[in-house]
Homo-oligomer: A and B are copies of this chain.
């Protein structure tokens, strides 16, 4: 796998991605030869994570251009490819953003094939660079703890997967961890399994294994106990949306870990690309709508049977109903700081504007 990325071009110029639906049990590479393959990969969640969805859509446009030229289709083909890609995940902001970029590029292009490829490549390399810089700025926080512990292993707790698997490379919360590891700093990660979809046990544990990072899987209930007993030095989580005031929406259960970190004086950081900042809202608790998902994600769990088959099992009485909230909001008062591609800042308006002064005009 090319440097362990989540999306790449093969020798024939076709796109390849990891099938994330069957991780960690099977590693299968899927080839995308047409824009329809890209649509399917996004739709059926072969790929997930905002940056990776955006990148897949961008390459999907490039594949459509290629097909159009090879088969001598007219411009209508390209228009409907855009529409199909746009409809593949109706709420993914990053998808629309990537498609707009591709459209802009084609609008002023006289070499569709070369330009669409180069624009898609640049969307991908921008994401890689953003994630790398989050690591560059987060690394000193880990170095400081390591120094304070006189080189003993740093224990970092994380929730969900804000790793490279949702991005292209590096990931957000994993970027400082991978960079610390490469520098020889001893790190160990407590991986919350992150029910109901278990992105921790399925994805974070998988990519840490691939990178050779020592880690231990725990159920989501365990973090408080570990923090009470000095077994966690730092918490880092990702975010889907962070408000102007520094309130952080992230995977359900993040708030409980933040409370526990506060109660035990443990730093709680949020790693994010600035594209996750929503400067148009202030109060995360009242202004961020929380997605409710299918109750079967709670009632059933997917894993590997002893006969090697991937299967789903029912884990409660069949008649019991469940509620499945996807996210919760951690109030800014519980957040030690935001780690962004431009530096680390306090989780409040002044902190954010000190790094991103261009957002000040959007004052609300």
Question: Interface residues, chain A, CB within 8 Å of chain B?
Answer: 24-25, 191, 193-196, 198, 201-202, 205-206, 209, 215-226, 228-229, 251-253, 255-257, 259-260, 263, 285, 290, 298-306, 311-317, 319-325, 327-329
Contact = CB atoms under 8 A, between A and B. Distances in A.
Given A195-B195, A301-B313, A315-B198, A256 B216 contact: no
B221 A194 contact: yes
A256 B329 contact: no
Given A216-B322, A217-B322, A224 B314 contact: no
Contact of A217 (B222, B251, B311, B321): B321
Nearest to A329: B228
A311 to B, nearest CB: 6
Contacts of A304: 313-315
A304 B224 CA distance: 30
A24 B320 CA distance: 10
A192 to B, nearest CB: 8
Contacts of A299: 217
A222 B301 contact: no
Contacts of A229: 285
26 contacts: A24-B316, A24-B317, A193-B298, A194-B221, A195-B219, A201-B320, A202-B315, A209-B317, A209-B319, A216-B321, A217-B298, A217-B299, A217-B321, A219-B220, A221-B253, A224-B253, A224-B328, A225-B329, A226-B325, A228-B329, A229-B285, A301-B313, A301-B315, A302-B313, A303-B313, A303-B314
